[in-house]
Amino acid sequence: MPAIELAFAAILLAAAVSDARRFLIPNFYPLCLLLLAALAWVAGFPFSGPLWSHLLHFVAALTVGMLMFHFGWFGGGDVKLYAAVALWFDFSEGLTLLLFTSLAGVGVVVLSLALLMLRTSIGGAPNKQGRLRDRRIAYGVAIAAGGISSLLWTYS
């Protein structure tokens, strides 16, 4: 795996760990992905389509993500991270990224629910933090898994 792909994966793994531990994805990680994409473009990384198609995917992902954030369906860090990952794939590969991220998201949600149920059964009656509607999901983990899987699928 080339250095650029390893750096991409390392940034996403660091963002996933941050989200899993603190439910926070610092702006540093999406910014690093954007800068790495620019560096990769200049270095001749074999991107799959023209630059305009990658930028279109980035803008579309950011726009839809901002709408999801507005309605409270997605966190701000998740929106920025997903949009930064989307820049790495041209618009025609958007469904691949969305599919891999969604499948990983199902796994993250199921695991989160299982852990919540386990904590509730061990600890007795659920408290305010144990209520299902108040439960936060570290979706950055799914974005990282989807991004890495899509990179391997598309560029390997």
Q: Where are the domains of the chain?
A: 3-155
- pLDDT of 1 above 80: no
- DSSP 3-state helix, strand, coil percentages of the chain (rounded to 5)? 80, 0, 20
Q: Could you give the percent of the chain with pLDDT greater than 90? A: 79
Tell which wins on pLDDT, 30 or 155: 30
pLDDT of 49 above 80: yes
**Separation of alpha carbons 6 and 122, rounded Å:** 40
Mean pLDDT of 63-75: 95
Residue of 134, 18, 5 lying closest to 77 (CA atoms)? 18
Count of CB atoms situated within 10 Å of the CB of 90 = 20
Residue 17's pLDDT band, with cuts at 50, 70 and 90, is very high
Res 154: pLDDT: 93
Q: What is the pTM of this model?
A: 0.89
Residue 137: both structure tokens together = 């999901």
Please give the pLDDT value at position 149: 97
127 φ, ψ (degrees, to nearest 5): -95, -170
pLDDT for residue 123 is more than 80: no
Distance CA 135, CA 116 (A): 9
pLDDT bin (cut points 50, 70, 90) of residue 115 is: confident
> Residue 137 has what pLDDT?
86
Burial class (CB in 10 A: 0-12, 13-18, 19+), 100: buried
